[in-house]
Amino acid sequence: MAITNNINGLQFNELCDFMKRLIRESLYALNGLSDKEKHVNWYETCTMDDYFTEWDQLLDENDNLIGEGLDTISSKFVLNDNTRADFERAFTQARDAALEEYKNE
């Protein structure tokens, strides 16, 4: 299902959880680096546009492009003017939660 506007509460949680998983994976990939702390610090202030430099190309069932965004398997979240604020809010929430978990482990 393609979500192009009006992200509801359940969908927001799905998007946030998906972003959090991606960010956590990125953070754990830093383990073993000698300058890990510098990289972890970058995450504390990075924006969604800093982190996501490229988006998934989202296709419909006929392989037609419906936009760019994130495919969480159960939903295709299209980043556009209608969803950008929700994407940015989900990213900030996901980033902060991922950082807190990472630092507490």
Q: Whole-prediction pTM value? A: 0.92
Number of separate domains in the chain: 1
User: What does the alpha-carbon distance between residue 31 and residue 34 come to, in Å, rounded to a whole number?
Assistant: 9
Question: pLDDT digits over 23-44, tens only?
Answer: 999 999 988 778 888 888 999 9
Is the confidence at residue 54, as pLDDT, over 90? yes
Q: Which of these, 50, 56, 97, 55, lies nearest to 39 by C-alpha position?
A: 50
Axis crossing angle, helix 36-45 with helix 9-28, rounded to the nearest 10: 160
Partners of 65 in beta bridges: 59
Containing structural domain, residue 70: 2-103
